[in-house]
């Protein structure tokens, strides 16, 4: 009991120390504030349709508007070509960006971490087979494959897009986790666990997983950015979910209706949001990298 409490206390101390280092990092702090802003946008996306059905991002139409209009007191960012409110679409796009980015990144990290740990711990034939399979997935042009699947099966559901993104994004993290596992399984505490009679599953999930988890979470921040960009690219090219209002879909609508250069109030907000949300996750990832690697902090202090 006392050992468990001491272990929890030590874990809490390490977490607080890591959070302090993260918050002291200017890049990480800016990324966190940007991320909180977009999280607030995602939460606020539920409000406009409650105020008036006219503000529903997909089906709501202003009966007095028959073309794209600039910002006004009724529509703060203006309307699209059929009278739908652009602000409500932008807020909904933030929710979809979080849904796609975090879900796809989490799934790819789970796949990559499990496969990397199994390959590194098992070694030999299983290691070779899993890594060759990872190499095959890694060299495939993921965006092109998804486009081909979309052309074959029609426009894909948002959840199918999330699954496809995650299936093409796990090999990189699998290689990193495998390298860490190969190093960890040679450590004395793993030998002590074997001598104590611990099973392979217990060694992998009780002793190796907690040590590779910080690196997996670090890579998750970078995978979120790529997932958001891939979904936006698919939607812009016309292969996104037609029933979902995302920032990429907004760009596709403004381009398809010929308002690319006529309506900057329609074009710029989704493009800026895509850039800033990917930047926020990237900045948080860089700050987390410095927290996990003391050598980077020393290098920054030296500069």
Whether 79 contacts 85, CB under 8 Å: yes
The residue range of the domain holding 130 is: 43-302
- Whether residue 16 is contained in a domain is answered as no
Question: Residue range 120-141: average pLDDT?
Answer: 89
**Model confidence pLDDT, tens digit, residues 263-277:** 999 999 999 999 999
Q: Which two tokens stand for residue 19?
A: 């959070």
Number of domains in the chain: 1
List beta partners, residue 79. 85
pLDDT at position 5 is 47
Identify the CA nearest to 22 among candidates 10, 9, 35. Answer: 35
pLDDT at position 38 is 96
- Whether residue 58 is contained in a domain is answered as yes
Lowest mean pLDDT among 21-30, 236-245, 257-266, 294-303: 294-303
Which residues fall within 8 angstroms of residue 69, CB to CB, at 6 or more apart? 75, 78, 79, 83
**Which residue has better confidence, 153 or 211?**
211
- Whether residue 79 is contained in a domain is answered as yes
- Whether residue 206 is contained in a domain is answered as yes
Cα–Cα distance, 249 to 231 (Å, whole number): 9
Q: Which two tokens stand for residue 140?
A: 């495939």
- Whether residue 6 is contained in a domain is answered as no
Average pLDDT, the chain: 86
| Residue percentage of the chain with pLDDT more than 70 | 89
- Whether residue 249 is contained in a domain is answered as yes
**Model confidence pLDDT, tens digit, residues 179-221:** 999 998 888 888 888 888 888 888 988 889 988 988 888 888 8
Question: Residue range 123-134: average pLDDT?
Answer: 90
* C-alpha dihedral (257, 260, 266, 269), degrees to nearest 10: 140
pLDDT at position 17 is 63
**Which residue has better confidence, 204 or 296?**
204
- Whether residue 283 is contained in a domain is answered as yes
Q: Give the domain CATH number at 163.
A: 1.10.3720.10
pLDDT at position 293 is 65
**Model confidence pLDDT, tens digit, residues 49-97:** 999 999 999 999 999 988 999 999 999 999 999 999 999 999 999 999 9
Neighbours of 50 (CB within 10 A): 9
- Whether residue 66 is contained in a domain is answered as yes
Question: Residue range 241-252: average pLDDT?
Answer: 92
Residue 248 has pLDDT above 60, yes or no: yes
């Amino acid at each position: 009991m006392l050992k468990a409490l001491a272990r929890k206390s030590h874990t809490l101390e390490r977490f607080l120390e890591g959070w302090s280092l993260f918050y002291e990092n200017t890049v990480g702090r800016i990324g966190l504030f940007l991320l909180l802003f977009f999280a607030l946008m995602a939460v606020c996306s539920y409000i406009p349709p409650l105020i008036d059905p006219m503000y529903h991002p997909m089906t709501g139409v202003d009966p007095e508007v028959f073309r794209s209009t600039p910002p006004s007191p009724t529509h703060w960012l203006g309307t699209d070509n059929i009278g739908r409110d652009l602000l409500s679409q932008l807020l909904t796009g933030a929710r979809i960006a979080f849904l796609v980015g975090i879900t796809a990144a989490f799934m790819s990290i789970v796949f990559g971490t499990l496969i990397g740990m199994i390959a590194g711990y098992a070694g030999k034939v299983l290691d070779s087979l899993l890594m060759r399979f990872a190499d095959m997935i890694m060299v495939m042009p993921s965006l092109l494959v998804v486009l081909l699947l979309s052309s074959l099966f029609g426009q894909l559901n948002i959840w199918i897009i999330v699954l496809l993104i995650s299936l093409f994004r796990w090999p990189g993290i699998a290689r990193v986790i495998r390298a860490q596992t190969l190093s960890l399984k040679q450590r004395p505490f793993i030998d002590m666990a074997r001598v104590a009679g611990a099973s392979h599953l217990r060694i992998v999930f009780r002793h190796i997983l907690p040590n590779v988890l910080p690196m997996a979470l670090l890579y998750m921040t970078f995978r979120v950015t790529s997932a958001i960009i891939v979904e936006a690219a698919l939607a812009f090219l016309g292969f996104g979910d037609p029933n979902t209002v995302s920032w990429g879909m907004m760009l596709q609508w403004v381009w398809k209706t010929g308002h690319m250069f006529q309506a900057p109030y329609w074009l710029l907000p989704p493009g800026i949001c895509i850039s800033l949300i990917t930047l926020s996750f990237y900045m948080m990832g860089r700050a987390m990298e410095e927290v996990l690697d003391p050598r980077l902090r020393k290098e920054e202090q030296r500069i």
